[in-house]
Amino acid sequence: MKGIIGKKIGMTSIFDPSGKQTACTIIEAGPCVVTQVKTTESDGYNALSLSFGDKKEKHSTKAEVNHYAKAQTAPKRFTKEFRNYSIEKNIGETITLDIFAEGDKVEVVGTTKGKGFQGVVKRHGFHGVGQQSHGQHDRQRAPGSLGNSSDAARVMKGMKMAGRMGNDRVKMKGLNVVKIFAEKNYILVSGSVPGHNGSIVLIQK
């Protein structure tokens, strides 16, 4: 596996030579610094720790400053571990968009937008009652029955109810790399990517 940390910039669309329009997400990916190399001998598994986004030293702990100093780099805002990385890298080396090529299939991992506490209509697509007849009122968006009275006499596990919605880790698979702007560290992937503009995403292959 190989991957890189990036920041979602926004969406745009690109036209191919035949005139077909493709919706794309712009991601500013890398450059990422290798801040730790884990091996089976020392840690029990193989992994690379990549760090992205500079952070002021005054906002970092002494432990962070010393950790990043081993890689001869400034403190970073985000660090992510990639297991079984397919490219050999040493501590302090940089990973850029060179690991991807246009036309590659990639996976993008992000955190969806948080929606807060939502009802069953928005959260699960319930239809509600939707009519005002038979003397009922204030039931348009109610969940309805939650279970049996005497047979089970309880609410079954997994019952769809109102609750916190969004802010989940989601992986989008099978996205195409449409375009790469290496000088700006921009990569354009087809389709949408979870999260708000400015959120951190992982691009894996």
Q: Domain with 49 in it: what CATH number?
A: 2.40.30.10
Q: Amino acid identity of 108?
A: V
Q: Is the pLDDT of residue 203 over 90?
A: yes
Please give the backbone phi and psi of residue 106, each rounded to the nearest 5 degrees, phi first.
Answer: -130, 165
The tens digit of pLDDT for each residue in 25-49 reads: 999 998 999 999 999 999 999 999 9
Q: Are strands 94-95 and 3-15 parallel, antiparallel or unpaired?
A: unpaired
Phi and psi at 121, nearest 5°, equal -65, -45
Q: For residue 140, report the phi and psi dihedrals to the nearest 5 degrees.
A: -60, -40
| Residue 128 confidence class, pLDDT cut points 50, 70, 90 | confident
**66 lies in the same domain as 100:** yes
**Within a 13 Å sphere around the CA of 138, how many CA atoms are in the beta-carbon half?**
0
Whether residues 128 and 156 fall in one domain: yes
The one-character DSSP state at 113 is: P
Structurally, the chain folds into a number of domains equal to 2
192 and 144, same structural domain? Answer: no
Structure pTM? 0.85
76 lies in the same domain as 36: yes
Q: Which domain holds residue 125?
A: 118-166
